[in-house]
Structure 1
Amino acid sequence: MAGQLLLVDDEPGLREAVKAYLEEEGFTVHVASNAREGWELLQQISPELVISDIMMPQVDGYQFLKQMREDPRFESLPVVFLTARGMTSDRIQGYNAGADAYISKPFDPDELVAIVSNILARRAVVSKSASDGETPDIADMARQIAEIRAMLTQRGSIAQTPAPIKIDFTPREQSVLELVAEGLMNKEIARRLDTSVRNVEKYVSRLFSKTGTNSRTELVRYALEHGLAK
C-alpha cells in the first residue's frame, strides 16, 4: 500500500536505511533529523503517518507526539514509535501518550512495513465510512455557516470591514476557501475542483495554518470577518 510518511530520527544511518526500505515498498518518505524539523515538515507535507524515534535531543518523541495531539490538525494522525527503549513501561508510556504502534530497535523491516500498511488500511476504511455518511455533516456545516453569516450581518461586520487583510493564498487555496465558506465538505470540494479529497485536505490544512484557525467554522468566521471570502 502506497502512502506518504514522515520519518523522524536523529540517527543518520538508521534514518536512511529505513527510508530506503520503505521507499522500496512503494511509500513516499520524508525525513527529519529531530522533532523541530519534523514539526516544520509536518505542516508542509501533511503525511498520512508519522514514524518517530523517542530518544532525540531537545524535543523527545513523547513531547513531539504531545504537540501533535494538542493540534486539531494532527490529533488523529497515526504515529508509530521506533525506538531502542523496549521495556514494558516504555511501551505503556508510548501508548498512553497516544502512539498507534511501538516497535523496538533492532527490528525487522518487514514488521514495520506490515504495521504501517495495516494502520493506513484501517484509516482508509474509517475515512470511507465517514465520507459515506457525509450528508448530515454538510447540512450541519451549512447551518453553522448560516449562523455565522447572520451573526456577522447583524453586527454589521461584513459591511463595516474597512478593507480586506492580505494573506498570500495560492489560487487553489483561495478556491478551496471560497467553497469551504459556501458550506461544502472536502468530498464535494474535490468534485467541484476535479481533484482528490486528499489534496483538498492538504489545502484546508494550509488554510488553517495561514489563518491561525483550528476548525472549518473558525476558518469561515475568520474569512468573512476579514473579507477573504464572499
Structure 2
Amino acid sequence: MRKILLIDDDHELRDALQAALTAHGHVVFCAEDGIAALRAAVEIKPELIISDINMPLLEGPDAVRILKALPKFRSVPVILMSGAELSPTSEADAAVRKPVNIEQLLELIKGLTRSTASPGAPSRSLPMRAIAGDEGWDRALAIASLGKRSNTECAARICRGIELMHAEAFRTALLRSRSLNATDSERLYDRLVESVATLVQLLPFC
C-alpha cells in the first residue's frame, strides 16, 4: 500500500485512476492542477506522485520541479502522463502514455516503490515552460486553487514567483533561439524555483 498523489485536470480520468489504484490497496489523494498539487504534497507527504503534463494554471513539470527543489521530495518517485511519447528524466522516474494502461501503471508503481530514487540537485531535464503570457494562467484562479485556508498574501507571493519563473523561461528560450549565452538566465530560473519552493513549505501554516 502506497500513499499516492494523483494530479490531473481531467476529472473522469482522475476518478477512474483513483478507483483503480484504491482497489489495488493504495491510498490516493487527488489534485486537479499543479497549483493545488503543491499544497496537497506538503500536507499529505506522498510516497509517489503521478502527474499529467499539460494542465491549467501550473503544468506538471513545473509543479514537479518546484517540489523536487525541496529535500523531502527529492527521493519521491514521479510518473508523468501524457498523450505524447515521453522519456524518463532525472526528475521524472517514468512516463506513461494516455490512455493509461492500468496494469502497466501498477507495475511501474511496484517497481519504483521497491527502490528509493537517489536525491540530488534539481535539474532542467524537464522542459521549462517557455511562454511568459500563457493564456491558461489566471492569477485569481491560481490563488484560489491553493485552497480556502491559504493566506492571500502567501498565495499571491507563490503565484508571483511562478509568473517570474515562466517569464525567465521565456527569456532563456529567446536567448537560445538567437544562439546567445543563456547560462545566467538559467541560473536565475533555478533560483526562482528554489524561492517558490521555500514559500510552498509555508502553505500548511497559511
> Please, what TM-score do these two structures have when normalized by structure 1?
0.49
- How many percent identity over aligned positions? 29
Tell me if the contact between 1:62 and 1:97 (Cα under 8 Å) persists in the aligned partners.
no
Matches within 5 A, 1:98-177: 98-123=91-116
The amino acid of 2:8's aligned partner reads D
**Displacement, 1:73?**
1.8
Where does the alignment leave 5 or more consecutive residues of structure 2 unmatched? 119-200
Where does the alignment leave 5 or more consecutive residues of structure 1 unmatched? 127-208, 211-230
In the other structure, the counterpart of 1:73 is 72
Encode CA deviations 1:199-222: one digit per residue, 9 max, x unaligned. xxxxxxxxxx46xxxxxxxxxxxx
In the other structure, the counterpart of 1:84 is 83
Tell me if the contact between 2:79 and 2:93 (Cα under 8 Å) persists in the aligned partners.
yes
**Displacement, 1:107?**
2.4
CA distance in 2, matches of 1:58, 1:107: 23
In the other structure, the counterpart of 2:30 is 31
In the other structure, the counterpart of 1:41 is 40
Is residue 59 from structure 1 mapped to residue 58 from structure 2 by the alignment? yes
The amino acid of 2:116's aligned partner reads R
CA distance in 2, matches of 1:122, 1:97: 15
Tell me if the contact between 1:65 and 1:97 (Cα under 8 Å) persists in the aligned partners.
no
The amino acid of 1:14's aligned partner reads L
Q: Which has the higher contact order (CA 8 A, sep 6+)?
A: 2
CA distance in 1, matches of 2:31, 2:66: 16
Encode CA deviations 1:154-178: one digit per residue, 9 max, x unaligned. xxxxxxxxxxxxxxxxxxxxxxxxx
Is residue 9 from structure 1 mapped to residue 2 from structure 2 by the alignment? no
CA distance in 2, matches of 1:56, 1:80: 15
The amino acid of 1:9's aligned partner reads D
> Please, what TM-score do these two structures have when normalized by structure 2?
0.55
**Displacement, 1:114?**
0.8
Please list every run of at least 4 consecutive aligned residues from structure 1 whose deviation after the TM superposition is greater than 3 angstroms. none
Matches within 5 A, 1:172-183: none
**Displacement, 1:121?**
1.5
Tell me if the contact between 1:79 and 1:100 (Cα under 8 Å) persists in the aligned partners.
yes
CA distance in 2, matches of 1:75, 1:3: 17
In the other structure, the counterpart of 1:20 is 19
Q: 1:36 to 1:97 in 2, by over 3 A?
A: farther
Q: 1:3 to 1:96 in 2, by over 3 A?
A: closer
Matches within 5 A, 1:197-212: 209=201
Q: Work out the number of aligned pairs and report it.
A: 121
Encode CA deviations 1:57-86: one digit per residue, 9 max, x unaligned. 121111111111211121221100012122
Higher helix share: 1
